[in-house]
Chains A and B, each alone.
Chain A
Amino acid sequence: SQQGEEDPQALSIQEGENATMNCSYKTSINNLQWYRQNSGRGLVHLILIRSNEREKHSGRLRVTLDTSKKSSSLLITASRAADTASYFCATESNFGNEKLTFGTGTRLTIIP
Chain B
Amino acid sequence: DAMVIQNPRYQVTQFGKPVTLSCSQTLNHNVMYWYQQKSSQAPKLLFHYYDKDFNNEADTPDNFQSRRPNTSFCFLDIRSPGLGDAAMYLCATSRVAGEEQFFGPGTRLTVL
On chain A, the residues within 8 Å of B48 by CB distance are 98-99
Check A57 for interface membership: any CB of B closer than 8 A: no
Partner of B103, one of A31, A42, A98, A105: A42
* Docked complex Cα distance between A105 and B39 (Å): 12
On whether the beta carbons of B98 and A98 are closer than 8 Å, the reply is: yes
On whether the beta carbons of B99 and A42 are closer than 8 Å, the reply is: no
Nearest 5 A-B pairs (CB), nearest first?
A98-B97, A42-B103, A92-B98, A102-B42, A43-B103
What secondary structure prevails in chain A residues at the interface with B?
A: strand
With an 8 Å Cβ cutoff, the count of chain A residues facing the other chain is 23
Known: A33-B100, A92-B98, A100-B101. A42 touches B33 (CB 8 A): no
Q: Which of B42, B45, B104 has the most CB of A within 10 A?
A: B42
On chain A, the residues within 8 Å of B33 by CB distance are 99
On chain A, the residues within 8 Å of B88 by CB distance are 40
Check B43 for interface membership: any CB of A closer than 8 A: yes
On whether the beta carbons of A45 and B102 are closer than 8 Å, the reply is: yes
The contact string, 1 if C-beta is below 8 Å from chain B, for chain A 78-104, is 000000000010001000001111111
On whether the beta carbons of B105 and A41 are closer than 8 Å, the reply is: yes
On whether the beta carbons of B98 and A3 are closer than 8 Å, the reply is: no
On whether the beta carbons of A3 and B42 are closer than 8 Å, the reply is: yes
On whether the beta carbons of B98 and A31 are closer than 8 Å, the reply is: yes
Residue of A nearest to B55 (CB): A98
Check B70 for interface membership: any CB of A closer than 8 A: no
On whether the beta carbons of A98 and B31 are closer than 8 Å, the reply is: yes
Partner of A99, one of B6, B98, B102: B98
17 A-B residue contacts at CB 8 Å? A31-B98, A33-B100, A35-B103, A40-B108, A41-B105, A42-B92, A43-B43, A43-B92, A43-B103, A45-B100, A48-B100, A88-B42, A92-B99, A98-B98, A100-B45, A102-B44, A105-B40
